[in-house]
Copies of this chain bind each other. A is one copy, B any other.
């Protein structure tokens, strides 16, 4: 009976049912563990978190943790799969919000909404960053499949016509903005004192800067 968690192995494309339930029911033990894991992994990285830290954070025994999610690596994979799903949903939501609007309006809304979400989920930004830099000692490629997301944005923003053939330059520009948003949210504690502002100012300065930088990159003709 220690094996049923294997249900959700290797299913990061279509949302696996147990993972979905775990997130939808944050009061369930599975959900509480997932949430705690996300918080801690986001804060300390994969090898910076011990199973005992996790168990203590939830207030349970280590075995309960293994009962629900199996090995540490499996739990980490679940966190990443969950995160990937959430991001995909968020991007779809944004895409729906701005459909049909002008380009500049699209940009404005996309940055606003995405930044708000990231600022409210700094652990998500941190998880993505460590996923980029990769090479965790024992973790293989549990990457967030951000590639399609970026390509979709590039198409939505008019930088490419076909989402299967996005120019490298277009992807690079989208990536730059995306990474900047992730950076400023993941490193808020570090960058905020550098700018000498308070929390609210920080967030508005970040948004403003991203918009300021993004607009010309996407509205100028695709020269060079």
State the A residues within 8 Å of B (CB): 43-49, 126, 129-137, 143, 146-147, 150, 168-169, 171-173, 175-176, 179-180, 183-184, 186-187, 189-191, 194-197, 201-202, 205-206, 208-210, 212-213, 216-217, 224
Contacts and interface: CB of A to CB of B under 8 A. Distances in A.
Given A176-B209, A206-B172, A216-B216, A187 B135 contact: no
Contacts of A180: 176, 179-180
Given A48-B47, A168-B205, A210 B176 contact: yes
Given A168-B195, A168-B196, A210-B176, A189 B134 contact: yes
Contacts of A169: 205, 208-209
B132 A186 contact: yes
Given A45-B45, A135-B44, A179 B183 contact: yes
B172 A209 contact: yes
Nearest to A50: B137
A212 B217 contact: yes
A128 B187 CA distance: 11
A154 to B, nearest CB: 11
A216 B211 CA distance: 12
Given A48-B46, A48-B136, A205-B169, A175 B189 contact: no
A169 B207 CA distance: 11
A131 to B, nearest CB: 8
A31 to B, nearest CB: 24
B47 A187 contact: no
A147 B134 CA distance: 26
B179 A195 contact: no
27 contacts: A44-B136, A45-B130, A45-B136, A46-B48, A47-B48, A49-B137, A126-B133, A129-B133, A132-B187, A132-B190, A132-B191, A134-B187, A134-B189, A134-B190, A143-B190, A168-B195, A168-B197, A168-B205, A169-B205, A169-B208, A169-B209, A171-B194, A172-B209, A173-B209, A173-B213, A175-B184, A216-B216
